[in-house]
Amino acid sequence: MADDLTAAYSKNAGLGLDSLANGFANSLALGSSHALGKGESFRGASDFGNIHGCHPCEILAFLLRVQDLMKAVWYDRQGRAEEVLEFGELPTPQPGPGEVRVRLHTSAVNPADANRRAGRLHGMEYPRIIPNSDGAGTIDGLGESVDPALLGSRVWLHFAQRGRPFGTAAEYVCLPRELTSPLPEHLDFTHGACLGIPAMTAYCGLFQRGPIKGKRILVTGGAGAVGHYAVQLAKWGGAHVIATASFGRKAAHATLAGADCVIDYTAPDAADQILEATQGRGVDHIIDVNAGDNLELCLKVAADHALWISYAVGAQVARELPLIALIRKNLCIRGMYLSGLPYEIRCMAQEGLSRWTREVPDAIHAVDSTFSLRDTAMAHLAVEAGTKLGTVVVRCNLE
């Protein structure tokens, strides 16, 4: 019986508590004991009095248990942000074994979040999805076997909506404890939300094979969220960093991150400029934002035995690979999909980023713009516009 009530409530959670209470009152007045048949739809809140002949006292007890609702944004179908994203109330989640509940202050919108919502390269994984995977907030609930000392901790988090339906576009989120990391006191929640997947991707791409001190590193897309972190982390690791970016404010943004040299990737001689910046030796390590578009550039500027890691492919998802250049230079080309990396590598990245944020308190966590939770659709549109410099952040705390 309790499962039936929970399923019915979850399906209609967007109605809000007042509507559910009205439905409960209606069900008392009707005195109905009709049970929903197999395949019969749940028509509204008044059906609470019709589920398997539940006694009114049992329904009242259930409503009292679920009266703690949170504001959230969700979608039940994929499509344009302004058409499919809904704002309303959903049940406040409770942490399961090994999980923590985070009272979210901020949520970050990454391109992958917008792609999942739009249905680009991703299907509808769950009947209802709260979007966004990164964020920052305070741990306010603990599941079984979680260290009690974590209660009240300030954290940044990643992968909230990976392998589970509910992400960070809400006031609360529950997720495995290991997907949270300590947020230093000198960082506010807005800047903390920027870390997440971009910083994790940059760190894993740079350090998963060990130290990079003294290496010549190329970061393509040095003004992007991942690229900006990659430039800063590579400098922290002792590397000489060359970044590519388009001319103007994006080039200035990459320079601000600390790049030793910034090359306009739209220039016909961009590869020659990179080789000149390395005295003709080429680069030892590449962190690449677009394997399709940057194929020729990366092959030309890579030094012998170089490591080329690409974390995205762009519009050209299929390209012919000049194998002779790959073989003669003894190159290692590696695709990197963060969620598919071994757990140990991702833990290493979280620990490394915690050390970096402590050692470099003036690091740049670039925020492009902020939106209210109610305006999450506008935040998704800002990401899809392709003009942002930094992370688009949603404020989840409505107080």
% of the chain exceeding 70 in pLDDT: 83
CA nearest to 173, candidates 110, 131, 128, 127 = 131
**Measured distance between the N- and C-terminal CA atoms of the chain, rounded to whole angstroms:** 36
Our measurement of the distance from residue 234's CA atom to the centroid of its chain's CA atoms, rounded to an integer in Å, reads: 22
- The C-alpha atoms of residue 300 and residue 206 are separated, in whole angstroms, by 20
3-state secondary structure of 241: strand
- For residues 221-238, one letter each, b for 16 or more C-beta atoms within 10 angstroms of the residue's C-beta and e for the rest, the string is bbbbbbbbbbbbbbbbbe
- The C-alpha atoms of residue 97 and residue 67 are separated, in whole angstroms, by 23
Question: Of 37-51, 195-209, 211-225, which gets the smallest average pLDDT?
Answer: 37-51
Measured from the Cβ of residue 385, the count of other Cβ atoms closer than 10 Å reads 9
% of the chain exceeding 90 in pLDDT: 77
Show the tokens assigned to 122.
Answer: 């991703």
Phi, psi of 315 (to 5 degrees): -75, -30
Mean pLDDT of 384-394: 95
Mean pLDDT, the chain, rounded, equals 87
Query: How far, in Å, are 92, 103, 163, 185, 231 from residue 141 at the CA level?
Result: 11, 9, 21, 20, 36
pLDDT for res 32: 30
Report pLDDT digits (tens) over 43-55.
333 344 444 455 5
Report pLDDT digits (tens) over 90-130.
999 999 999 999 999 999 999 999 999 999 989 999 999 99
Report pLDDT digits (tens) over 229-286.
999 999 999 999 999 999 899 999 999 999 999 999 999 999 999 999 999 999 999 9
Q: Beta 302-310 vs 332-335: how paired, if at all?
A: parallel
Q: Which domains does the chain possess?
A: 2-65 (no CATH), 70-195+365-395 (3.90.180.10), 198-340 (3.90.180.10)
What is this structure's pTM?
0.83
169 or 122: which carries more pLDDT confidence?
Answer: 169
- The C-alpha atoms of residue 296 and residue 198 are separated, in whole angstroms, by 25
- Residue 395's DSSP bridge partners are 106, 372
pLDDT for res 98: 98
Contact between residue 135 and residue 157 where contact means Cβ atoms under 8 Å apart: yes
Contact between residue 335 and residue 208 where contact means Cβ atoms under 8 Å apart: no
Greatest Cα pair distance, the chain, in angstroms, is: 85
The band of 206, judged by pLDDT with boundaries at 50, 70 and 90, is: very high
pLDDT for res 321: 84
pLDDT of 398 higher than 80: no
pLDDT for res 196: 98
Phi, psi of 360 (to 5 degrees): -125, 75
Say what angle helices 196-207 and 225-236 make with each other, to 10 degrees.
50
pLDDT of 40 higher than 50: no
pLDDT for res 250: 95
Contact between residue 117 and residue 83 where contact means Cβ atoms under 8 Å apart: no
Show the tokens assigned to 278.
Answer: 């390395």
pLDDT of 28 higher than 50: no
Question: Of 14-28, 83-97, 105-119, 312-326, which gets the smallest average pLDDT?
Answer: 14-28
- The C-alpha atoms of residue 51 and residue 20 are separated, in whole angstroms, by 14
pLDDT for res 154: 98
Mean pLDDT of 354-381: 98
pLDDT of 363 higher than 80: yes
pLDDT for res 352: 98
